[in-house]
């Protein structure tokens, strides 16, 4: 089943959280000279046109990136992320939104590598055309979960693995845990970042429980909710689960989340949290 298109949701509050975390991890990895791999298991199309039919139909970005990108008191933790949004929009009008591969492309160095996987027959060609001239990148129209076995460990022995499935199928909640377990077995020093939506809280509780049961340590959970949990109103929150987070990430997210929540949710509903599922 491949009915999910990220173009309907690009730039929403969940993307703002995900891409903030992604950009802070990449920035931390760049503090060491040694190159690293960025592996994106579910890469999407790369670039999203916000004036396009899909984005306009839902208008989700209007309650996401549109509220954030031109604020005058932007916290420093958002600087790498917002620099990517600005690099794609030459001027004051928000026309395009960078997906995770374009954020990585903008922030990675010449010596770093990208491995990008996308399965959708319409989105894969769009992604491929974005990266045609980038010799750092390798693209595959393949199953992202398989890449956690096929591409790890990277020769550089350093890397960020972003796992961002659409959760169209309920089995994705189990597949992500199995995939992480397989990837971690091959590359236990990698930084693994898993995105999740909160649609039914019980599904997330079960997924977190399954992750705990793997025995993996150093698992940080970061969440931003725009509404209280509910079983009736679709996605009320989203989060990032990060294994082996850079040491500053916990503090950085504690600094920036109250600001993000205030700007993204003027009504003040929902919550933010940063907590360890499993500590050191």
Please compute, for residue 229, the number of CA atoms within 13 A of its CA located in the half-sphere on the CB side.
Answer: 9
Asked whether residue 156 is marked as a ligand-binding residue, the answer is no
Residue 190 near residue 246, CB atoms below 8 Å: no
Contacts of 124 (CB under 8 A, 6+ apart): 118, 139, 141
Minimum distance, C-beta of residue 168 to ligand SAM, in the bound complex (Å): 7
Residue closer to ligand SAM by CB (options 6, 113) is 6
Asked whether residue 19 is marked as a ligand-binding residue, the answer is yes
Measured between alpha carbons, how far is 99 from 114 in angstroms, rounded to an integer?
14
Residue 169 near residue 203, CB atoms below 8 Å: no
Q: How many residues bind ligand SAM (CB under 6 A)?
A: 20
Minimum distance, C-beta of residue 94 to ligand SAM, in the bound complex (Å): 16
Site string for ligand SAM, 100-119 (x = CB under 6 A): x----------------xxx
Selecting among 15, 40, 123, 164, the annotated active-site residue is 164
Residue 180's CB: how many other CB atoms inside 10 A? Answer: 23
Q: Which stretch binds ligand SAM (CB under 6 A): 39-47, 54-62, 177-185, 210-218?
A: 39-47
Tell which residue, 237, 221, 222, 239, has the closest CA to residue 270.
Answer: 237
75 in contact with ligand SAM (CB under 6 A): no
Distances 97 to 72, 183, 222, 269 between C-alpha atoms, Å: 20, 29, 22, 26
Contact positions with ligand SAM (CB under 6 A) in 143-202: 143-145, 164-166
Minimum distance, C-beta of residue 144 to ligand SAM, in the bound complex (Å): 3
The answer to whether 164 is a known catalytic residue is yes
Minimum distance, C-beta of residue 246 to ligand SAM, in the bound complex (Å): 19
Residue 232 near residue 12, CB atoms below 8 Å: no
Residue 51 near residue 135, CB atoms below 8 Å: no
Known binding-site positions for S-adenosyl-L-methionine: 19, 42, 100, 118, 143-144, 164
Residues in touch with ligand SAM (CB under 6 A): 2, 4, 6, 18, 42-44, 99-100, 117-120, 123, 143-145, 164-166
Known binding-site positions: 19, 42, 100, 118, 143-144, 164
């Amino acid at each position: 089943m491949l009915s999910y298109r990220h173009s309907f949701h690009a730039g929403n509050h969940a993307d703002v959280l995900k891409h903030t975390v992604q950009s802070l991890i990449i920035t931390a990895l760049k503090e060491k000279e040694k190159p690293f791999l960025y592996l994106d298991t579910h890469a999407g199309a790369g670039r999203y046109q916000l004036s396009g039919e899909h984005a306009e139909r839902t208008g989700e970005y209007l309650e996401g990136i549109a509220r954030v990108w031109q604020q005058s008191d932007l916290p420093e933790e958002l600087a790498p992320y917002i620099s990517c949004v600005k690099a794609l929009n030459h001027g004051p009008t928000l026309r395009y939104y960078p997906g995770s591969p374009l954020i990585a492309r903008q922030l990675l160095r010449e010596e770093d590598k990208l491995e990008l996987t996308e399965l959708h027959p319409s989105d894969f060609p769009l992604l491929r055309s974005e990266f045609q001239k980038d010799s750092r990148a390798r693209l595959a129209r393949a199953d992202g979960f398989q890449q956690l076995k096929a591409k790890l460990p990277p020769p550089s022995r350093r890397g960020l693995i972003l796992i961002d499935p659409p959760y169209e199928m309920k089995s994705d909640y189990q597949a992500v845990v199995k995939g992480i377990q397989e990837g971690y077995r091959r590359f236990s020093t990698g930084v693994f970042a898993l995105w999740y939506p909160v649609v039914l809280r019980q599904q997330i509780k079960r997924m977190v429980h399954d992750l705990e049961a793997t025995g993996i340590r150093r698992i940080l959970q970061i969440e931003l909710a725009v509404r209280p949990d509910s079983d009736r109103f679709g996605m009320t929150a989203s989060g990032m689960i990060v294994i082996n987070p850079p040491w500053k990430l916990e503090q950085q997210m504690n600094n920036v989340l109250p600001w993000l929540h205030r700007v993204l949710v003027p009504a003040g509903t929902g919550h933010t949290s940063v907590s360890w599922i499993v500590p050191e």
